[in-house]
Structure 1
Amino acid sequence: MGNATPQLKVHVHGALNVGASREEVLEIIIQIAVYARFPAALNGLTWAKDVFRER
C-alpha cells in the first residue's frame, strides 16, 4: 500500500467533479483505514489535501 498516489489523486479529482464534498472524500479515506491499515489512510489524507490545495 502507498504506491497508488497518482490513481488516488485522479479518483479524488473525479469525486469532486461529480459533486462529492471535501468532507465526504475525507470520510471515505478514514474508512479505508479499516481495510488498508492506518498508515495508508494517513497517506491518503495527505494526498487528498494536496488535491484540495490544487483546486
Structure 2
Amino acid sequence: MQWEEDPFVVQRGPRFEEPATIIRMVTESVDDLPRPLIDNCKIFQEWVENGRN
C-alpha cells in the first residue's frame, strides 16, 4: 500500500482490504462523524449538503 500526501488517497496493494474496511465503515456512517471531520473533507461536505446517506 502506498499513501500519498493528499488525504484519502491510497493505491491498492496486497493488503488493501485492511484499510478499505475502515474507509467503508467511515463513509457508511458519515452522518455520525464529528463536525470537524466533515468540515475538513470536501467529499463529506458534499455528501452532507446533498443529503447522501
TM-score of the two chains, using structure 2 as the length reference: 0.29
* Structure index of larger Rg: 2
TM-score, length basis structure 1: 0.28
Compare the two structures and name the one with the higher helix fraction.
Answer: 1
Structure with a larger share of its residues in strand: 2
